[in-house]
Amino acid sequence: MMIGNWLDIGPITQIEPGTARTLPVIGGEEIAVFHTMRNEFFAIVNTCPHKQGPLSQGIVHGDVVTCPLHNWNISLRSGKALGDDEGCVPTIPLKVDAGRIYLLRSAVIGGGDQAEAA
């Protein structure tokens, strides 16, 4: 399933719009892959910077997810907490090509955007 620098994680149809699904990484951080109502795809680490809530389970509106534990709003685009809250969750570079979703392999394994883009 690994080809080059991009990890093919399957067709876009496996994530319903307005929801997210999870991708556990053995020895690494679980990733949440979002499909927004505006048909964009994002991948971020599945952990709220506040109290580690599973962001994949939050309500998605626009390009924002509301954490299910304490309603922090997290930008899917930047990983940053919005409003008065402060914190940031790592993002994973994602691309969609011919109906399939690809994640940047080094970021998947390295736990997000700290990883060197290959």
Partner 1 sequence: MNAPMNFEEGKPAGQVRERLVVIGNGMAGCRAVEEILARDPGRFDVTIFGAEPRVNYNRIMLSPVLAGEKTFDEIVINTREWYDDNGITLVSGDKVESIDREHKRVVAASGRIEPYDKLLIATGSDPFIIPVPGKDLDGVVTFRDLDDVDKMLAAAEAGNAKGGGNAVVIGGGLLGLEAAHGLNLRGMNVTVIHLMPTLMERQLDEAAGWLLKTELERRGQTILTGANTKEIIGKDGKVAGVRLEDGTEIPADIVVMAVGIRPATGLAREAGLEVERGIMVDDHMVTSDPAILSVGECVQHRGMCYGLVAPLWDMCRALADFVTESPSGYEGSVTSTKLKVSGIDLFSAGDFSGGEGCEDIVMRDASRGVYKRVIVKDSKVLGAVLYGDTADGSWYFDLMKKGEDVSDIREALIFGQAFASGGALADPNAAVAALSDDAEICGCNGVSKGQVVSCINGGAHSLDAVRSTCKASASCGSCTGLVESLLALTLGGEVESGPKTMCKCTSFTHGDVRKLIVEKGLKEIPQVMQELHWTTPDGCASCRPALNYYLLCAWPGEYEDDQKSRFVNERMHANIQKDGTYSVVPRMWGGLTSPKELRAIADVVEKFNAPMVKVTGGQRLDIFGIKKEDLPAVWADLNAAGMVSGHAYGKSLRTVKTCVGSEWCRFGTQDSTGLGVQIERMTWGSWMPHKFKIAVSGCPRNCAEATIKDFGVVCVDSGYELHIAGNGGIKVRATDLLCKVETEEEALDMCAAFIQFYREDAYYLERTAPWVERVGLQYVKDALAEEGAVERYAARFHYSQQFMQDDPWARRAAGEHEKLHQHLAEVRPFPASQMENA
CB 4 to partner 1: min, Å: 11
Distance in Å from the first CA to the final CA of the chain: 18
Neighbours of 31 (CB within 10 A): 27
Site membership for partner 1, residue 109 (CB under 8 A): yes
Among 3, 16, 83, 116, binds partner 1 (CB under 8 A): 16
Minimum distance of partner 1 from residue 101's CB (angstroms) = 9
Residue whose CB is less far from partner 1, 69 or 85: 69
Build a one-symbol-per-residue string for 52-91: x at contacts with partner 1 by CB under 8 A, - elsewhere. xxx--xxxxxxx--x-xx-x-x-x-xx-x-----------
Per-residue b or e along 34-46, where b marks 16 or more CB atoms closer than 10 Å to that residue's CB = bbbeeeebbbbbb
Nearest to 32, CA basis, from 41, 21, 40: 21
Based on the shown chain and the rule CB under 8 A, indicate whether residue 19 belongs to the binding site for partner 1.
Answer: yes
